[in-house]
Amino acid sequence: MSPSDASRLLHDTGLPKWALLLALSLAFTVFLELFALPASLLIGPMVAAILLALTVGKGKLDVPLWPLQLGQVLVGLMMARTITPDILGTMAKDAPLFLLFIFSVIAIATGLGWLLTHWQVLPGTTAVWGSSPGGASAMVIMSEAYGADARLVAFMQYLRVVFVAVGASVISRLWVAADGAEPPPLVLFPEVDWPAFATTLVFAASCTYGVKRLHIQGGTIIVPLFLGAFLQGSGLLKIELPMWLLAIAYALVGWSIGLRFTRSILEHVARALPRVRPASCC
């Protein structure tokens, strides 16, 4: 193969652009981690992908479908891992109080989403998903499955993440007594239970295939979340997800969203920002 052929191959496959995207993603993620910003593993790659999408001309990059769906399933399993019998028992003791706050937040957020939709600030059901409470990553993934614009939903959800993170940090420093504990460090390469890890990967691949085969809308989050939590609570599955694997999953989701941004989308976001910001803060 001649040098010109190799150069053409690199250009056609987009390898230099992927390398640039990876480098930018690492840089933004490390920068956000310095400030302990939540969801930095997803926001960093998403911001990098947005910048690349706005500056690259021909040969726009796209995340392949199967790796993307597998990444979404891994995010669902990450949430399922936190739902343990101990957590459920604690919530059951104060169920009325938990339910009151949960339904109050849902009602307020749904009302704000309906108002934004009624005022045509954002198209379709995008405002409803963008103002919905819950895990930002899950809302973004599920919104796309139901036809909303994931780019605008991501903008609203992660704008809220930033506001909540800053607000919680300020409140904890000013009004809550500090206990002196340091936040746990981000360990990318922890010790791995390899048998459990292999089982988790097989389960994740099975969920990805099953959701695709059965055409379950939003299933890449819902199926691994509920089925994984049930199997874990029953002692039939130990969900083993090392941080490096979650970082890859978050990067795939962030790239998928960010690479679809355009200048027109950003202009629409800028026009909608004054009316979106109050809803994102709730």
Q: Is 220 exposed, middle or buried (0-12, 13-18, 19+ CB in 10 A)?
A: buried
At 197 the pLDDT is: 97
At 149 the pLDDT is: 84
List the structure tokens of 220: 């890449």
* Residue 257 placed within a domain: yes
Residue pLDDT tens, the chain, 282 long:
444 443 454 455 456 888 899 999 999 999 988 877 767 898 899 889 989 888 875 457 889 999 999 999 999 999 999 888 888 787 788 888 888 988 898 888 888 888 878 887 777 788 888 888 766 777 888 888 888 888 888 888 877 776 776 676 666 666 655 555 555 667 888 999 999 999 999 999 999 999 999 988 889 999 999 999 999 999 999 999 999 999 999 999 989 888 888 787 777 777 766 655 555 555
* Residue 9 placed within a domain: no
- Domain encompassing residue 53: 38-178+191-280
* Residue 11 placed within a domain: no
* Residue 232 placed within a domain: yes
* Residue 172 placed within a domain: yes
At 7 the pLDDT is: 42
Contacts from 198-206 at CB under 8 Å and sequence distance 24+? 199/237, 199/238, 199/240, 200/77, 200/237, 200/238, 200/239, 200/240, 200/241, 203/77, 203/228, 203/231, 203/237, 204/70, 204/73, 204/74, 204/77, 205/70
* Residue 157 placed within a domain: yes
* Residue 254 placed within a domain: yes
At 257 the pLDDT is: 85
At 5 the pLDDT is: 46
d(CA 54, CA 72): 25
User: Which one-letter DSSP state was computed for residue 58?
Assistant: S
Q: Is 26 exposed, middle or buried (0-12, 13-18, 19+ CB in 10 A)?
A: middle
Q: What are phi and psi of 41, to 5 degrees?
A: -65, -25
At 84 the pLDDT is: 85
d(CA 50, CA 261): 6
Q: What's the number of domains the chain is made of?
A: 1
* Residue 144 placed within a domain: yes
At 275 the pLDDT is: 58
